[in-house]
Amino acid sequence: MSKIILDNNIEELTQILTERYKVPSFRAGQLYKWLLAGVDICQMTDIPKDLRTKLDEDFVLNPVTISKKLTSKDGTIKFLFGLHDNNLIEGVLMNYKHGNTLCLSTQVGCKMGCVFCASGEGGFVRDLSAGEMLGQVITAGAKDISNLVLMGSGEPLDNYDNVVKFLRLVTDEKGLNMSRRNISVSTCGLPDKIKKLADEKIGVNLSLSLHATTDENRQKLMPIARTYSIAEVMKSAKYYFEVTGRRITIEYCLTKENTTMFDVKRLAELTKGLPSHINLIPLNGGTKSNIIACTKEQAQRFADRLITAKISNSIRRSLGTDIQGACGQLRAKFVGCKEGKNDLK
Ligand code: SAH
């Protein structure tokens, strides 16, 4: 059994409380309400003290705490979250017109090694459990969050079972009951897992990190492109759309190399017959790669050319650049990219 109590849904919690602690099932409802509100055990006043003591001994009740919180000039909040084993992960809370979006992490570190991304700089440490993902939402202030993006550190589909479990927990009507339409899973493109996720019928949005239009160029940016071709990845994205009916978001970092007229033509070919929107992402610096970012003018010209080619797109507003807003940057700063070193000053 998991030590992290939030890994359980209300039915599982009821079973634990009635079978293990021999208390009436209504206690599970009381406990779950407090846990989802992020309330400390000593404030769960309607639960008997001896039960609280036992739960506190047997479980991690509050798996995600705030180690550091930085607020950007634009209102973006970057969290450095601490886990029960002293690992650190990041979350970013962004304020948009339509509400607050939390960008959360799915792994400590990452195996994928995309050259522009800081998440994997210290290597891969471990997967997060479903309850640790839910804990990020709770600790960041669930009641004020309307949208979730699984775009923090880690590759969600490389931690498939826990991510699916989390998606079910967070959309559970007896839990936080968040709308599946307001949740996006971002992936570097693992075709089999994309198809499997489609078949789960959860109905969340899929964001595909494409970043290049030829296998050769994609391989320079993303090691995973050596395993799966763009053709295979796009085929799985088409399958995702066919099964879920959800329009696919394609994420595309803007570099000098991948924003030519040829790329416009290729993007038109690749997205033909696939309802999609391209999110153009200004490259966020701070990593050690030698890729050259586009200027603002080049980015705008590329966006205009895509529009002329009738390809729906938008340039993503960069938020939180003054607080190491992009994936892994804040954690990389604090852990010195070394696993286990957790010295916050
Ligand atoms: N592993 C998943 C989710 C995490 S990254 C994925 O690959 O999609 C979320 C998005 O931010 C991805 O599109 C990723 O490629 C992009 N990203 C990472 N570092 C970046 C940087 N420094 N500048 C711009 N985009 C970045």
C-beta 188 within 6 A of ligand 1:
yes
C-beta 251 within 6 A of ligand 1:
yes
pLDDT in tens, 245-280: 999 999 999 999 999 999 999 999 999 999 999 999
pLDDT in tens, 145-198: 999 999 999 999 999 999 999 999 999 999 999 999 999 999 999 999 999 999
pLDDT in tens, 313-334: 999 877 666 666 566 666 766 6
11 flagged as catalytic:
no
pTM of model > 0.85: yes
Dist. CA 209 → ligand 1 center (Å): 7
pLDDT of residue 2: 84
Dist. CA 154 → ligand 1 center (Å): 9
Dist. CA 326 → ligand 1 center (Å): 8
C-beta 326 within 6 A of ligand 1:
yes
Q: Whose CA is nearest to atom 7 of ligand 1?
A: 188
Candidates 61, 60, 34; CA nearest to 47 is 34
Dist CA 151 CA 71 (whole Å) = 19
User: In angstroms, what CA-CA distances link 119 with 122, 261, 292, 314?
Assistant: 8, 31, 19, 24
C-beta 151 within 6 A of ligand 1:
yes
Helix residue spans in the chain (DSSP H)? 10-15, 26-37, 49-58, 130-141, 160-171, 191-199, 215-221, 230-244, 261-270, 296-308, 329-335
Q: Across-strand partners of 184?
A: 149, 205
Dist. CA 328 → ligand 1 center (Å): 9
The yes-or-no verdict on residue 82 having pLDDT over 60 is yes
Q: Which of 12, 57, 327, 339 is catalytic?
A: 327
Higher pLDDT, 291 or 34: 34
Please name the residues in contact with 19: beta carbons below 8 A apart, sequence gap of 6 or more: none
Section 55-66 average pLDDT:
97
Section 68-97 average pLDDT:
93
C-beta 90 within 6 A of ligand 1:
no
